[in-house]
Amino acid sequence: MVRGRLFWIALLGITFAVILLVARRNGGAVAGLSGNDVASLTYYLILIAIVGSGVVVLFRKQFAQAVKASVLWVTIALGLMVLYTYRAELRSVSERVMAELIPGRVVSRWLHIVEIVRGRNGDFQVAAQINGVRIALILDTGASSVVLTQEAAKAVGLPLEVLIYDINVDTANGRSRAASVTLDRVGVGDVVERAVPAMIAQPGQLRTSLLGMSFLNRLESWEVRGDKLVLRGYQ
């Protein structure tokens, strides 16, 4: 019984020792919290201590179990505090994991810099926002322009009935014609360009919309690093 109590008291002491070490590392702040935040935290810890004391009184015949329960709840509270403090870092890690699992998912590294992981078929599938609508594109550096399928053009609200297909283009199915349009807004994560020249393929001429050079040339830079496409927009 005594050894069990000493164990839990030691564990509690170690927990608070870790907090003190973090405070020293952050120049007096606990996990990045300001003085007011630390004061609030202290208040809640005192409240927890009072509640814990009540638990001890209620379960004085089972003191060891009461101490264990109190330590458990204090540890949970501290864990939640740490998770809340580092929520931005945890979100970044989760986004990178999801990007590895879901081809085409855009990950924001920094402001106006995004990464896309290459798909299993070797292509870069890009989930873009065109005129506010999510459209799946394939990176095609050989395409002089962003090219949309009929279905994608309809989804983003372009007036298909008035388009004039007067531009000669070469496709996998041979020579075809396309219509010239201007897209109000094309965004890939935090990288956004406006008034982007694009083309609409004739019905049945294109399976997947293409992210071509009329978008890429607008960026500050873009490059392929191994299995990742990195797009950098202007600040």
Average pLDDT (131-160) is: 94
Q: Are residues 51 and 118 in the same domain?
A: no
Looking at 59, 85, 111, which one is the last position of a domain? 85
Q: Are residues 126 and 221 in the same domain?
A: yes
Question: What backbone phi and psi angles, to 5 degrees, belong to 179?
Answer: -105, 140
Q: Are residues 184 and 116 in the same domain?
A: yes
Looking at 85, 115, 131, which one is the last position of a domain? 85
Q: Are residues 101 and 148 in the same domain?
A: yes
Contact of 209 with 131, CB cutoff 8 Å: no
20-46 residue pLDDT tens: 545 544 455 444 555 455 556 655 665
Give the integer Cα–Cα distance in Å for 23 and 185.
46
Number of DSSP helices (H) and strands (E) in the chain, helices first: 6, 11
pTM: 0.57
Q: How far, in Å, are 114, 191, 223 from residue 92 at the CA level? A: 12, 17, 21
Counted domains in the chain? 2
**Residue 163 has what pLDDT?**
93
CATH number for 202: 2.40.70.10
Q: Are residues 48 and 163 in the same domain?
A: no
**Residue 50 has what pLDDT?**
57
Q: Across the chain, what does the average pLDDT equal?
A: 75
Q: Are residues 121 and 197 in the same domain?
A: yes
151-205 residue pLDDT tens: 999 999 999 999 999 998 876 566 789 999 999 999 998 899 999 999 999 988 8
User: Residue for token digits 């005594």?
Assistant: 2
Contact of 60 with 52, CB cutoff 8 Å: no
Residue-range definition of the domain harbouring residue 179: 92-232
Q: Are residues 115 and 202 in the same domain?
A: yes
217-230 residue pLDDT tens: 999 999 998 888 99
Looking at 54, 85, 116, which one is the last position of a domain? 85
Give the integer Cα–Cα distance in Å for 113 and 107.
9
Tokens describing residue 84: 């809340």
